[in-house]
Amino acid sequence: MKPWIAVLVAVFVSVLFCPMVFGQEITKDEIAKELKSLKARIHKLEQEVSRKDREIEGLKAKVEKLAEPAFAEEGQEKWTDRITFSGAIEAEYGSQTHNVKDPATGRSTSSRDEDITLSTVELHADAHVNKYTKGHVVFLYEEDEDEDRLRLDEGTIRFGGVEETHNFYFQAGKYYPHFGELNSWFISDPLTLEVFEIQESAAEVGYDGEWYSAGVGAFHGDVQKKGDDESRIKGFFADANIHNPEDTLGGLSLLAGASYLSNVADTDTLQDEVDQIRDYVGGVALYLVTEYNKFSFGAEYITAMDDFHAGEMGYALDRNGNTAETKPVAWNVELAYRPMDPLQLAVKYEGTKDMFGLFPEKQYGVVVSYDLFESTTISAEYLHGEYDDNNQNGDGNVEDSKDAVTLQLVVEF
């Protein structure tokens, strides 16, 4: 009930009953005069309430305007609605035991290293600028590589990839070109990634469909051929894969594909081992990742297509210290099983070829992961690696084997 109605009712009650209570008589003129006065007061109150309502609405509008960006128009979404943030924090305990042999005496010695590190901090920002344009930025900190600072790890602009562009896209910026899938359920990076991961400033065109995707791109590259004085864009990559949409193939998830890279010496690890080469050596990757019910399986094989000449790769030293030819190869096979929602077990068998003492020739391991809370996971991993006997490391010893234990706590947001 509105306040003025309540007042009016009270007036009528007082007019009707007060004469009975006090035994006084009120004339009609006095009643009319009193009603006129009450109406005037009620009208004045209504005007005051209406003025206050207008003031409140004006204050609300000012607050809403301050909360919106200056460029926002009426009916347009806020810029904050077009940006999503995510990331991860990883803390690790690691212990490694290395066994090496003296090539002169054949005597074996071992050494152990252990540490607690903030291994990784990642911050992702994805901006849906409009229906056709997206921006992607990643800042990364890794304790083993960065000195207490975040570095720009990725920054890309992407056009298309939607139905209106028939799923064709263009992408440019600094990122990791898709050379191999490099998939793993382990804490440690797989040997395929350790040897062949590549990060470049590149441009790419492709098709991203419901059942298959393909893309080709170009980049400058840091490794040039000997005698090549011109600084030109000579690096190329390509990838094609098939993948099924969700809820098809009876619940089976499938990804299978192949990649090509024009010069594997441009990969992050190999380029640190070479200055100049006589010829560009291409590389090919084949990969398969599948999931069904509680099981997941991944297999990948990446190889250079030709040999690097002796002396071109710094790691290629035989047990006598002589330079050797090398044709880098890496492969990885993993099987994961989730017996219950928070728990996952995984095993792997992986290896390399012609990597001498840089990476194990064969390596196997096991990892157990448990989701403590939402987006909070603790994992324990064990790896055993065995090296090629025909190698020499930087200390002049022959790498024999290594054992590594890693404990990791991850929070994703």
Query: Tens of pLDDT along the chain (413 residues)?
Result: 554 444 444 544 454 444 444 445 567 777 777 777 777 777 777 777 777 777 777 777 666 655 544 444 444 667 778 899 999 999 999 999 988 887 777 788 889 999 999 999 999 999 999 999 999 999 999 987 777 788 999 999 999 999 999 999 999 999 999 999 999 999 999 999 999 999 999 999 999 999 999 999 999 988 888 877 778 898 999 999 999 998 888 889 999 999 999 999 999 999 999 878 999 999 999 999 999 999 999 999 999 999 999 999 989 888 788 889 999 999 999 999 999 999 999 999 999 999 988 999 999 999 999 999 999 999 999 999 999 887 876 666 788 899 999 999 999 99
Model confidence, pTM: 0.79
Sketch the domain layout of the chain as residue ranges: 3-67, 83-412
Q: Extract the tokens encoding 178.
A: 């898709």
pLDDT at 270: 95
pLDDT at 22: 42
Residue 353 CA to residue 351 CA, distance in Å, equals 7
pLDDT at 76: 60
Quick one: DSSP state of residue 1? -
Say if residues 381 and 188 touch (Cβ distance below 8 Å). Answer: yes
Amino acid at 13: V
With b for 16 or more beta-carbon neighbours within 10 A and e for fewer, the 340-364 pattern comes to eeeebebebebbbbbbbbbbbbbbb
pLDDT at 4: 43
Residue 350 CA to residue 347 CA, distance in Å, equals 10
Q: Extract the tokens encoding 7.
A: 């007042």
Closest C-alpha among 249, 251, 165, 171 to residue 211: 249
Per CATH, domain 83-412 is 2.40.160.10 = yes
| Phi, psi (degrees; rounded to nearest 5) at 50 | -65, -40
pLDDT at 64: 62
pLDDT at 388: 86
Residue 89 CA to residue 410 CA, distance in Å, equals 6
CA distances from 26 to 11, 12, 18, 21, 407 (A): 14, 13, 9, 12, 94
Say if residues 119 and 91 touch (Cβ distance below 8 Å). Answer: yes
Residue 399 CA to residue 99 CA, distance in Å, equals 7
pLDDT at 20: 41
